[in-house]
Chains A and B, each alone.
Chain A
């Protein structure tokens, strides 16, 4: 790993896009890619859109005003490209009926707000063996990618792209209270998905003694 560059002077507000553009790729490339992939599920298209985003950002860099972080700005540029791409491809926007989505989470609780199906015991929490750990990571990523609609988009931006909640609000143009609802749905869905696809399977395959 590279030594910590402690001697580098702090770059001022908005200067995040002033440096060598190649450094942006190292710093933000993976985050942009994960976001694109979550919306497209086609790796090469996702990579191409990330490239287009960086090129467009380079051309428009003087328009970056520094009222959001460089990453958030880049993600907003990418988001426009994703919307365009989906429209051009003539595909239906992955529209999710917000009421259905909400109902699914609500269904975990009865009318008094008590659990209907309580969360199971996950043992061990995460597998220790190397091969199994990779399989687990894959199951986890599949579940994370499978969270549909705006809840999934919000979760991707918050967790996989590591934006702050405030920055996610800016990108999605939602109020923070709405964002928290979306993220709660996403986390509940992720938890349920993993319990069904990973932990249930394990306990059935190899009963604990």
Chain B
């Protein structure tokens, strides 16, 4: 299953302080481990919210609010997308995220929807049955 790992902002990340060399080295090493374990799909770090904006929706109205935003702890500083076997595995990996500078921060783990999550609309198992046909029709040709 796919999880989005949300790295929450802290005063440093919001102030645009670049990560220390030690943190960068350890993060690179950690990312390499994720790749070698076959679980890292994608990941990016985000600029401080000062460089971002929000669009607020109210019916047909759209209001644009420029950053920075106040609630630092609720903001996101970066993310990974992982493909793991279980939430427990994701938690184990998140526990190992390096934090060499000893600061306070939080990482949130959220499961990503996948096609099978929508199968509640297939109580009769009809989709499952059709799968057999699907294979016959598509696998043997044009990939």
State yes or no: do A and B come from one complex. no
